[in-house]
Structure formats: C-alpha cells, structure tokens
Structure 1
C-alpha cells in the first residue's frame, strides 16, 4: 500500500491518502492529457508561480503580447458552423483576457454553504487556492485578473499560462490556475484548468459547444476516467502518481454577449444538486 508524503498538514495528507485508496495509479507519459503543474506545501500565490518557473527553467512574463487564457479559439476544434456562430466578443475575451474587467456575484445553496466554510478553513484560506467566498455576494465585486505566461527562454514558446484572480477590494486570492487545451483519450478537445495543490493538483476538463445565441458552453459532465470532468492528482511519498476522477462533481460555464457586454454563469453541482452559482459581468477596459 502506498502512502502520501508524511511531512505536511494532516488534512492534506488525509485527502491525498483518500485519493490513493479510491483512485488509480497513473504514468505521466501515458496520461499527458491530464497532467499539469503540482503545488508545493506553501500557499499557491504569485511566489509559487516564480518558484515553479525557476524549477522548470522558464521565464515569467507579465503583460506580454499574448494576453489570453487560450491563444486561439480555433484550437477548440469546433465545427465550422459552431465557430461561425460563436460570439466574437466571447472569442476576444478568451484570446485577450487581460484586456477585460471582471465583476462577479455568488449565490450559495444554503445546504452546502457549511461545507464551503469548512473547506476554506481547512484548506483554501491557507493555500490561497479554490478560495471561494462563503459570504453571499448579491451585488457586484470586482476581480483583479492577471495573465502570467511562463516561457521557454530558448524557443520563446509559452509552456504554461496562469490566470491569477483575486478580489480587488480585499486582495483575497480565489483562483490561481493554469489554462489551456487538451485532447481526451477519445479524441475530443476540451478546455483544461489545473489548480496546483500541495503535492498535487485539482484539474477540470470541460467539453466546449456553442449555444443557439452564440454563447460558449463548457461542460465537465463526464461519466468515467478519461472523460471530461473533475480530477484530483498527486505524487506519493515514493514518487508514484495517482488520480481520482470525481464523477459526482460537475462544472458548467455558459458565457455569452449582449450589447457588447459579456455575461457568464458558472454552476457547480454535487450529486446533481446545485452547490453554488457564479454570475460574471465582463467588459473591455477603457
């Protein structure tokens, strides 16, 4: 039986041990579609990004010419008809994310709010990751949104794109994720978001489609390992890799545009029950 790294917070060790017991051993070379940056034992703040870049011999670039979490939406491999119907404002947001201001509100299902508070106290507040406010935001709160690219100094190729988001008024980091495109074993193309955690990460893979009004729909409703969905990954005390597919947890993001204002609704569900909903209002910076 394998064990998680013993020298870390107990709650981190316990959850990693659960992944080992319930998940499967993987080989990185056989699961490149799933792999992404792993965190260390410290907070996943901007210092972590610089430490990760140094470890991988990459250059940190803020304010570079490439400003989007997805360099080209053509890489989503949508059908010709879907891509022609996709909102041009949505395309511009993904390709030029840092040119936009983001405001958001949150609505929790009261039956799940306690679990959100517990997760924040045990994990998120400490590691500055997946740090979703549990105080319901009915109005609009501004997000500070930064695109940080890690580039190979020899080829100038962007290896990782971090989307670093924090609440403007408090500085509280909500997400520090690596975004890109991945191809599932089935051949389907998906949007990939990797959130580094101690000795591992949480990865969300979402299949894209286009709605009748030109909105982009990203859905993580897979049924088995290898499908779109939510995954935990980790490296154990012996250097072996493990992953657990969480079928019960799903994420659906719908992002569209009306009168040059982009609106997005992101719904997280657990066992088909709505946990919380993010509402975003996105506008070009003036």
Structure 2
C-alpha cells in the first residue's frame, strides 16, 4: 500500500505542475520510474526492458557517458577537457570517492526532515546530513542500459555509503538536448515511485580543462530541475533547485569535485569529493 507521505507529495506536484505529454511535446522529460516505494535498483532492469534491451552485469569499466564527445556542440569540445576529468566520466566505475559534506544551518532542519521521512525510507536522494555519515566514503556501481540494438541509452549509477551499505543515490545518466537548445546537456533522472526527479545540467569547460555543470534559473524547458509524476495523467513541475558541479585537477594532480546545491538561489548544501582511480 502506498505510503501516505508519498501519496501526498505526488498530489502536491500534480496540483502545482502542468499536464505534459511524455510521448509527444514533452518527450524530453521521459525517464525511468520506480514501480515501488523503495527504489533500490529494480528500476534498472525495468528501464532496459522498456527499451527492448536486456540488462547485463555492472561493468567495472563503465562510465556515466559512453564518451564525453556526446556533449560536443557550440561552446563545448570534449578534447579540451583534462584527461583525468574525461576519464572519470567515461570510466566512472574505476574511480573511488571520498566525500565531505556541509549543510547551511538554515536548510539543515528541512534536509534532516526530508532524509528521515523520505530519503532513507525509499533509498533515494538520501543526502548525507552529517560529516560522519560519509567519513568512510562512498562506493559506486555503474550499469549500462542498452536498447534492443545494443545502443547505449543511459548509465545507471548507484552510490552507497561504504560504512553501512545504505543506498544514497540511484540515477540514470545520459546526454539529452532540450527543445531549442544549442547543444546537449547532461541529463540525470532519479526514479521515484510513479515519477522521478530530473536535472538538466549545462556543460562548459574551464580554462584549465576542468568541467562545469550547472542547472541555472530559467523557464520551463530550460536547464534545471523538474519533478515528473505519472499518476492520474502525466504532470511536471520545474522546482527551485539549482546545482553546480566543478570537476577539476588540483595542483597535486588529484581529481576533485565541488558540488553546491542551492534552493531559490541560496546555498543549502556543499559536497566535496576526492576521486582516486583504481587500477
């Protein structure tokens, strides 16, 4: 039986969102959903089957994108990236992550409430609330999702806390071009029961070969974050969640990522990742 909180949240997004046609004009919002409240990883096989494919095993050499060149377009050329940055996105499964987190005191109570009532229960978007939550780092598994012709559709990236094994994030990563956009964006979809949270991130390259991914403010149809509900019709709403990822190589040759999450333009959470390639 659906949890009352999940029913309530889906009702809220249906009321505040707009009707969409995920097989038509808003096909750019078509993304995987979970068939149950606990997300886990079952959605990955379902998504492969939806595209007529068969799910294989997690690939120890898989990346979030088959090649960074899928993002090439006006203002972006993958061959300008630092080789370590490119290697991380093309061979993500080979990289080990250590993580540090810091919440804004203003947003910490809301984050703790969401984590307790939703994130940990559904094992999705379970943001770390305390530095010790991620003190032992994160493990990750990448599973390519392919269609009936063997073509790459997305990469399923599941991240778990190394100390407890608890799932923190499980999402589908791909390149997708928004209507009217000059070039592709990085598209991330986090399945939820009867819906999902999606983020479109605009890529750019820094002068030193680092990667910037940003979901700025904008209109419906622009880069940014969206909640989609597939229940009693199809509805979608743009949400005031904005993110910036800066992936770079520090002066000691170490690959790092600064990740900032903002609500209504105000910083809510900062995460820092130290990335190390395993042989």
Tell me whether the two structures share a fold, i.e. TM-score over 0.5. Answer: yes
Gaps of 5+ in 1: 1-6
| Inter-partner Cα distance in structure 2 for 1:133 and 1:190 | 26
Aligned residue runs from structure 1 range 160-239, under 5 A: 160-187=154-181, 188-237=183-232
| Inter-partner Cα distance in structure 1 for 2:157 and 2:69 | 20
- Which structure has more strand as a fraction of its residues? 1
Please, which moves more after superposition, 252-261 or 61-70? Answer: 61-70
Q: 1:137 Cα shift?
A: 4.1
Q: What corresponds to 1:20 in structure 2? A: 14
| Inter-partner Cα distance in structure 2 for 1:36 and 1:48 | 11
Gaps of 5+ in 2: none
RMSD of equivalent CA atoms: 2.1
TM-score of the superposed pair, with normalisation by structure 2: 0.92
| Inter-partner Cα distance in structure 2 for 1:186 and 1:126 | 38
| Inter-partner Cα distance in structure 1 for 2:165 and 2:11 | 32
| Residue pair 1:107, 1:137 contacting (<8 A) in 2 also | no
| Inter-partner Cα distance in structure 2 for 1:74 and 1:245 | 28
| Inter-partner Cα distance in structure 2 for 1:110 and 1:203 | 26
Deviations 1:126-156 (A, max 9, x none): 110000121234984321110012333x422
Aligned residue runs from structure 1 range 18-167, under 5 A: 18-28=12-22, 29-53=24-48, 57-64=52-59, 67-79=62-74, 82-137=77-132, 140-152=135-147, 154-167=148-161
| Residue pair 2:153, 2:174 contacting (<8 A) in 1 also | no
| Residue pair 2:38, 2:121 contacting (<8 A) in 1 also | yes
Aligned pair count?
276
